Amino acid sequence: MVLDAMPDVTIRTPDWLRPMESILEELNEGVIIVDSQLRVVFANEALIRVGGYERGDLQGRTSEGIFPPEDLPYIMKQHETGQRYRRHRHEFYVPRKDGGKVPAIFSARVIQGPDGKEYVLLIVTDISAQKRVEEQLRESNRRLEKRQMEIEAELSLAARVQQSLAPRSLVWNDVAVEAYYSPARTIGGDFGVVLPQGDELLSLLVCDVSGHGIGSALVANRIYSEPSTSSSARRGPACCCGVFTTSCMTASRRTVFTSRWPPVVLSSAAGAWPLPPQAIPRQCWSRMVVSACSLRKAESSVASAIQRHLSPPTKLT
């Protein structure tokens, strides 16, 4: 903004204000005092510095000589509000001499001088730094929102893939198998396998990786194919469980720990046999529970087969 209106050179700083000039000049905040006709009678050094003016540029000028015409209605409205309530506070800007705009808080108060005239005392606080931080936060929020939308889209795709790990409904002989999968979060660490092998064998496997979310889902997807491969090769439950546990242990080689609980439980019509504690990946958290049930027409018990095939646990370090 270029000062284009001639100031009223007859306007001087009131005599009653002169003893206080030295104090007002030392303030960090901008101070401007206008008379009842909105003519500047005093502006301290801080305000002159913010606007890039020279000493005396503002003296005697009105709003028309400082602000552009499009801003005058707003300025007059704020002035009327201040006159009504005798004080007012609002956010606007200080026009710089070079045409720039400095965002600021204007705190106005109507005062009466010893000469009996009314003046408006304006305290102007430069909030440029605050505005820069706000803009940086808005930009950061925009980036975060964009990234969040990308993550949600990826999780939506992952959820559809995860649904494919739930077994499909089927009827095997006189047995009907129905499955319903609903993770605690968008994705989870659960999956199931139903593998009919003729009329002689129906392999059922339900796996729950402890925990929720992406970590559990990745572990579940990593080991999903292992029991299917073992079952399709017609391996026994114990062999299948051994391959499955080894897969769990090797799902992550970075960090492992020894669980206090039996991490794998194999269940069948003949009972349940917990495996000894094994070293499992941290991604599996405290334990992993596997329920496997083999329905075989000619098989009365698999307990002896499980005990015969179980080998000592291996601990990863």
Give whole-number Cα distances, 252 to 223, 225, 247, in Å. 11, 16, 9
**Which residue's structure tokens are 């409205």?**
77
The answer to whether residues 173 and 111 belong to one domain is no
**pLDDT surpasses 70 at 73:** yes
What's the rounded Cα separation, in Å, for the pair 206 and 180? Answer: 12
User: Domains in the chain: how many in total?
Assistant: 2
CB-CB contact of 166 with 179 (8 Å): yes
| Other residues' Cβ atoms within 10 Å of the Cβ of residue 174 | 5
Q: Please tell me the predicted confidence (pLDDT) of residue 216.
A: 79
Question: Where is pLDDT greater, at 143 or 281?
Answer: 143
Tell me: do 165 and 124 sit in the same domain: no
Distance (Å, rounded) from C-alpha 249 to C-alpha 258? Answer: 11
Place of tokens 């006159």: 83
Question: What is the distance between the alpha carbons of residues 93 and 69, in angstroms, rounded to a whole number?
Answer: 14
20 assigned to some structural domain: yes
- Are 189 and 294 found together in one domain? yes
The answer to the question of residue 112 being in a domain is yes
Mean pLDDT for 221-237 is: 64
Q: Report if residue 154 sits inside a domain.
A: no
Residue 305: how many other CB atoms lie within 10 Å: 17
275/311 Cα distance (integer angstroms): 10
Q: Is residue 280 part of a domain?
A: yes
Among 128, 146, 173, where does a domain finish?
128
Q: Are residues 176 and 48 in the same domain?
A: no
Residues 120 and 176 in one domain: no
Banded pLDDT at 124 (limits 50, 70, 90): very high
Q: Same domain for 59 and 120?
A: yes
* Of 57-71, 181-195, 255-269, the least confident: 255-269
Q: Stretch 10-31: mean pLDDT, rounded?
A: 90
How high is the mean pLDDT of the chain? 75
Average pLDDT over residues 153-171: 83
Q: Please, which pLDDT band fits residue 193 given cuts at 50, 70 and 90?
A: confident
Domain that holds residue 39: 15-128
**Looking at the structure, do residues 169 and 284 belong to the same domain, yes or no?**
yes
Percent of the chain with pLDDT over 90: 39
Q: Which of 30, 43, 206 is nearest to 106 (CA)?
A: 30
> Could you tell me which residue, 20 or 161, shows the higher pLDDT?
20
Query: Which pLDDT belongs to residue 87?
Result: 94
Of 80, 113, 128, the residue that ends a domain is: 128
Q: Is the pLDDT of residue 222 over 70?
A: yes
**Residue 47 confidence (pLDDT) above 90:** yes
Mark whether 171 and 300 lie in a shared domain.
yes
Q: Does one domain contain both 100 and 169?
A: no
Closest CA to 14 of 36, 45, 46: 36
- Residue 177 has what pLDDT? 84
| Cα–Cα distance, 95 to 92 (Å, whole number) | 10
Helix then strand then coil, % of the chain, to nearest 5: 35, 25, 35
- Burial of residue 87 (CB within 10 Å: 0-12, 13-18, 19+) is middle
Q: What is the average pLDDT across 278-298?
A: 36
Is there a domain that residue 89 lies in?
A: yes
Q: Please give the Cα distance from 203 to 237 (Å, whole number).
A: 9
SS3 of 190, please?
Answer: strand
Q: Is the pLDDT of residue 109 over 60?
A: yes
Give the pLDDT confidence score for residue 227 in this predicted structure.
63
* Mean pLDDT, rounded, for 262-281: 35
Half-sphere exposure of 126 (CA within 13 A, CB side): 17
H helices of 29-106, where? 45-51, 72-85
Q: What is the CATH number of the domain that holds 123?
A: 3.30.450.20
Structure pTM? 0.56
**Mapping DSSP to helix (H, G, I), strand (E, B) and coil, where does residue 24 land?**
helix
Query: Per the structure block, which two tokens stand in for 9?
Result: 């050179």
Q: Is the pLDDT of residue 149 over 80?
A: yes
Shared domain for 91 and 170, answered yes or no, is: no
pLDDT reading at 178 higher than 70: yes
**Residues 107, 279: Cα–Cα separation, whole Å:** 68
Please tell me whether residues 165 and 303 are part of one structural domain: yes
* Of 253 and 251, more confident: 251
What is the reported pLDDT for 234? 57
Q: What integer pLDDT is reported at residue 301 of this predicted model?
A: 40
- The verdict on 95 and 206 lying in the same domain is no
* The residue type at 151: I
pLDDT at 231: 57
- Residue-level pLDDT at 3: 52
Weakest mean pLDDT among 12-26, 53-67, 213-227: 213-227
